[in-house]
Structure 1
Amino acid sequence: MGSLAFFLVQDVFYHSLAVIGVAANLMTIVILSRGSCGLSRCTGRYLVSMAAADLLVITFCVILNYLCSLYFPFSFLTHYYVCSLHSIVNASVVDCSVWLTVAFTLDRFVAICCQRLKARYCTERAAVGVIVTVWVLSYLRNIPRYFIYEPDHTRGCRLRNVCSKTPWALYMWSGMALTPLIPYVSILLLNALTVKHILVASRVRRTLRGQGNDGKQVDPEMENRRRSIILLFAISGSFIVLWMTRVVDFVFQEILLDMSRMAVVTHVGDMLMYLNSCTNTCIYALTQAKFREEMRRAVTHPIHLFLKFMKD
């Protein structure tokens, strides 16, 4: 009974995630691409690329991998060659989503804490270079996944028994370490260093400005930095919370080799991991007033057109 209830929860969750995730990420891409949200072009590039990666995660991992296999268990997706390519794409888009979050966190860390590097690194050109590099490396790293499947007469394709071979075992383990363990630790470390720098800098600026004007005037530099920090911590904090179960599952199963009673934890970790692919739109709406305004226009404009058409 418990397994059936959990399956029903999964079913409702993935169906809802598919609808909301596609709509939210498409809206985010359109709004941010217009460049009318008051964000820098560098930040805008990162956020658009993250939304695009999240959209691909929802499309390939949730819709094609879970929902299509649920309703069409013997579709063309189970063909050996398609199955192998699909495995590459699934892993690659998740890697892109994760490492673009790391890249954005690093960009904001440099912008806030490393003023000497800011002029060279926090530019639109540098952002495009980093984004392209992340996409290319993510796909190149996952190409060997094509060879871990073999044809199967009943199911179309199946996993080879590669875990007993040392090179393949090392490859699969390193892949799990690269996503999610290393990004998770990197984001935690970068955020900790950013918080430390902010506390020290804020204390110094309050002291200096307090000596000059009794601390009564608003500091525009600190206001701009505060908005940037809220956006950074909201995105990276969401990633840390939603990937925590997946990281714990990885540590227990792959590092501590404790495989007992972890099936439910693995499924919950996957669900929260995919949920991370549609939370950024909510974060932008909660933290960015201009994004809320653009989203309101995007939602109400079709309604106004429909009402105008009905009146005519």
Structure 2
Amino acid sequence: MNNITETAQQVISSDGMAQVLTTLIPLLGTQAANTTVAMTTGRVRPSVPPEYLLQVIFVCDQVLTPLVVCFGIIGNIFSIVVLTRKEMSSPTNCFLKALAASDVMLLVVQIPHFLSYNHRLNDTHSFKIFYRYYTIFRYFANNTFITCTCWITVAVTIERFISLRFMMNSRMVCTIRRARRAILAIFLMSFVFHFSKFFEYEPNLNLRQPFPVVGTALVHSTAYETYVHIANITLAAIIPVFVLIVVNSFLIFFLTTHRRRMLKHKTPGSGSTSQVDMMHISFIVVSMVLVFIICHSVGVFLALNIAVHGRYKIFANPLFVSMKHVNGLLVFVNSSINFLLYCAISRKFRTTFASIFLGRLSKKMSWPLQTSTNEQSMLSKANVTTLYTSQISTTSSKGVDDL
């Protein structure tokens, strides 16, 4: 326990204090980084944090978050590879591809921050210069990609709701072209909305000071600070979470009623594969939204408390600071877990994934054995391959609404 405390104290001291303070509070925008400016200007004086806060920071930031980020990068890359297959083309999968791309970019941006935990590397002059410029970019990128992930989740939930509510005309309303336009609009609007964050801070080139950034005149503006505070909480917390709760509730209702209707009127030839496929992908979206709401609930709670009590009072409480770091971990969990949901719920995703990766691996492993096999074993291999290919083609011939 003492070793953990000592290691965590190193994170709080020197450059570590600046790294902790400039860590983004997802869904809160400028408020987390503004704490650094407040401390540098003397409005808030740092005090020795309690032991439990040191342990939470160490476990969340240095132990769990790097593991979650590494798994999330691999999982999202696998998801992108599978979802870009021709047989997986559909409006819903367009949103899921964009969601995986946004998540993987958010996770990749964190890698240089993890390198800063290496004290030998962190003490070098070149890395200190790089990290101080990188902190500003990370601040902008985290806000942008979290907003993209949030609103893409809202978009895919609305698309599933329309597909279930207007099942007969859903293919006319929900098209791949419209999905791509919506994705492009989300990325552009997120970029434009957060672009001003590039000008809130500038790198602190005085390497003797631990704080990597200093606030500009923009961030000290009361009007701008109020605008960013209200806009971030409204657009990145209240509105999307409220929309997700409402639309997901309707989606669950239509899923249950449609399933009962299918079971009640089940006759030979009814229950087409397209309807079953639509149910599967809708279950995936529902589970994604539930995970999203759970993982972002701590951030919403912090945002509401900041709106009521003010950020300086909130950040003066070690309990809320520890919740901030837990919230950061949960946000990365939300960006890393979708691959597991796809594998757990969608048979088509699992089959396509196996045909891409495991199929190639089995071919490489069976290659040296081909010279020693007899004619009968070769025939059995051909039969197994034919059966496996027929299963893939049968699964691929399902409706495009399946994941």
Tell me the TM-score range normalised by the shorter chain: 0.7 to 0.9
Following the alignment from structure 1 to structure 2, what is the Cα–Cα distance between the partners of residues 201 and 302?
A: 39
What residue number does 1:194 align with? Answer: 251
How many Å apart are 1:274 and its aligned residue? 1.0
| 1:172-211 per-position Cα deviation (integer Å, ceiling 9, x unaligned) | 331132112221111001012223444555666777x4xx
1:47 matched to which residue of 2? 96
Aligned partner letter, 1:31: V
1:70 aligned residue? 117
Instruction: Give yes or no for contact 2:83–2:89 (8 Å, CA) kept in 1.
Output: no
Aligned to 2:174: 122
The structural deviation recorded for 1:89 is 1.9
SS in 1 for 2:116: helix
What is the TM-score when the length of structure 2 is the normalising length?
A: 0.67
Give the total of aligned pairs: 301
- Counterpart of 2:231 in structure 1 is 174
Question: Which has a greater percent of helix?
Answer: 1
Instruction: Name the stretch that deviates more: 116-125 or 175-184.
Output: 116-125
1:214-229 matched pairs, under 5 angstroms: 217=268, 219-220=271-272, 223-229=276-282
Partners of 2:129 and 2:284 in 1: how far apart? Answer: 41
Q: Which amino acid aligns with 1:6?
A: V
For residue 35 of structure 1, what is the aligned residue in structure 2?
Answer: 86
CA 1:148–1:297: 2 relative to 1, 3 Å:
same
Distance in 2, matches of 1:3 and 1:86, equals 24
Distance 1:288 1:299 in 2: 17
% identical equivalent positions: 19
The counterpart of 2:325, out of the listed 230, 247, 267, is 267
CA contact (8 A) 2:99 2:149 kept: yes
Query: Equivalences for 1:141-160 in 2 at 5 Å?
Result: 141-152=193-204, 153-154=206-207, 155-160=211-216
Partner of 1:85: 137
- Is 1:25 equivalent to 2:76 in the alignment? yes
**Which secondary structure does the structure 1 equivalent of 2:117 belong to?**
helix
* Residue 236 of structure 2 is aligned to residue 185 of structure 1: no
Between stretches 170-179 and 94-103, larger displacement belongs to 170-179
Give the letter for the 1:24 counterpart. G
Query: Given the alignment, which residue of 238, 244, 248 partners 2:301?
Result: 248
Task: Name the aligned partner's letter for residue 127 of structure 1.
Answer: A
**In structure 1, what is the Cα distance between the partners aligned to 2:184 and 2:298?**
29
Matched, 1:101 2:153: yes
> What is the aligned partner in structure 2 of residue 212 from structure 1?
none
RCO greater where, 1 or 2, for CA within 8 Å and sep 6 or more? 2
Unaligned runs of 5+ in 1: 210-214
Amino acid of the structure 2 residue aligned with 1:67: F
Unaligned segments of structure 2, at least 5 residues = 6-51, 372-403
Q: TM-score, normalised by structure 1?
A: 0.85
- 8 A contact 1:32–1:44 mirrored in 2: yes
Instruction: Name the SS for the 1:70 alignment partner.
Output: coil
Provide the C-alpha distance between the structure 1 equivalents of 2:185 and 2:168, rounded to a whole number of angstroms: 23
Structure 1 residues 229 and 309, CA gap change in structure 2 (3 angstroms)? closer
CA RMSD of aligned residues (A): 2.8
